[in-house]
């Protein structure tokens, strides 16, 4: 598996498996299937309500723990120093792990600095191999870097052919932050799987639209975490390292960029209020 090296030297698979929107009663089998397929990066979150099922799959897998890269995330209601410490331990217990490979602040709201201080301590104690954030716009990222003195290893943001985050990636790279994509397939919006440009490129390489998208992202150095509950799709998504897109093909895909989210704007006050009010089930 191809890897990226984070700013602290930790190596992370460039292709992983995400479990967002996979119900808990399906998550254990899905993660076991993903690991059997060859995935080693597994991405979950306390907000997904399936950490326990993910942990069961990890425990049942025959793959040694040190070969896996496990990510989970801290939700808004758990922001702040003390609450972040407690939420981390709760996630660790559900996952049935002794350490995490990556822990992310899920949203840029609430007591970010208190939570970040707690995460730094957990990192320094060896309980987390790397810490980072998700959904941080460049201004929020620079605020955190400048005023905490500790740069996140990762920023996980919406990144797909219709919202390519080219300027954001350039900014993150300049500040030694690895970009990671959520929603690489835009959750099927804009008929992405029938897109003529992507389909035509796929036909040239005898690959599916999904494979073209994942190859395009990984060639850009973007870490991706596609999800599926169907093993044949997991296998398909994993099979992207035996072809390469040309510079012209990469440029053609760039023409699809709308430079706007297909989901929500984290700077919209109504969205901030909505996300901040979301309560997690235990």
SS (H, E, C) 127-166: CECCEEEECCCHHHHHHHHHHHCCCCCEEEEECECCECCH
Alpha carbons 138 and 245: distance in angstroms, whole number: 29
Any domain includes 48: yes
Alpha carbons 237 and 77: distance in angstroms, whole number: 34
Q: What is the pLDDT of residue 191?
A: 96
Any domain includes 110: yes
Q: What is the pLDDT of residue 194?
A: 97
Any domain includes 78: yes
Contact between 45 and 72 under an 8 Å Cβ cutoff? The reply is yes
CA atoms within 13 A on the CB side of 167: 8
Q: What is the pLDDT of residue 267?
A: 86
Cα dist from 267 to 112, 172, 186, 278, whole Å? 16, 18, 20, 17
Alpha carbons 160 and 253: distance in angstroms, whole number: 10
Q: What is the pLDDT of residue 277?
A: 84
Alpha carbons 14 and 29: distance in angstroms, whole number: 22
Regions of the chain with pLDDT less than 50 = none
Q: What is the pLDDT of residue 280?
A: 73
Beta-strand relationship, 17-18 and 131-134: unpaired
Any domain includes 281: no
- Would you say 106 is a known binding-site residue? yes
Any domain includes 282: no
- What's the total number of domains in the chain? 1
Any domain includes 15: yes
Residues catalogued as catalytic: 48
Per-residue pLDDT of 176-221, as tens digits, reads 999 999 999 999 999 999 999 999 999 999 999 999 999 999 999 9
- Of 57, 73, 65, 72, the C-alpha closest to 24 is 57
The whole domain housing 271 covers 3-276
Q: What is the pLDDT of residue 281?
A: 65
pTM here?
Answer: 0.95
Q: How far is CA 254 from the centre of its chain?
A: 21
Q: What is the pLDDT of residue 282?
A: 63
Per-residue pLDDT of 23-60, as tens digits, reads 999 999 999 999 999 999 999 999 999 999 999 999 99
Q: What is the pLDDT of residue 41?
A: 98
Any domain includes 97: yes
Alpha carbons 71 and 81: distance in angstroms, whole number: 20
For residue 163, give the CATH number of its domain.
3.20.20.100
């Amino acid at each position: 598996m191809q890897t990226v090296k984070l700013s602290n030297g930790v190596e992370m698979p460039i292709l992983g498996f995400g479990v967002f929107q996979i119900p808990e009663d399906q998550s254990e089998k899905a993660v076991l299937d993903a690991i059997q397929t060859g995935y080693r990066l597994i991405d979950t979150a306390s907000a997904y309500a399936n950490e326990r099922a993910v942990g069961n799959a990890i425990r049942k897998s025959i793959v040694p723990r040190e070969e896996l890269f496990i990510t989970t995330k801290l939700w808004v209601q758990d922001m702040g120093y003390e609450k972040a410490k407690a939420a981390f331990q709760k996630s660790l217990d559900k996952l049935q792990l002794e350490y995490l490979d990556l822990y992310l602040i899920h949203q840029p709201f609430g007591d970010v600095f208190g939570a970040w201080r707690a995460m730094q301590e957990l990192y320094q104690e060896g309980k987390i191999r790397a810490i980072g954030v998700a959904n941080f716009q460049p201004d929020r990222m620079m605020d955190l870097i400048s005023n905490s003195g500790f740069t996140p290893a990762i920023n996980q943001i919406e990144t797909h052919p219709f919202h390519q985050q080219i300027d954001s990636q350039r900014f993150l790279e300049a500040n030694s932050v690895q970009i990671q994509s959520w929603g690489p397939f835009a959750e099927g919006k804009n008929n992405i799987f029938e897109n003529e440009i992507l389909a035509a490129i796929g036909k040239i390489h005898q690959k599916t639209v999904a494979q073209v998208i994942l190859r395009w992202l990984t060639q850009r150095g973007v870490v991706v975490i596609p999800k599926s509950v169907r093993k044949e799709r997991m296998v398909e998504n994993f099979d992207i390292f035996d072809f390469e897109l040309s510079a012209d093909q990469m440029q053609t895909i760039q023409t699809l960029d709308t430079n706007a989210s297909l989901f929500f704007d984290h700077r919209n006050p109504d969205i901030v209020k909505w996300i901040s009010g979301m309560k997690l089930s235990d």
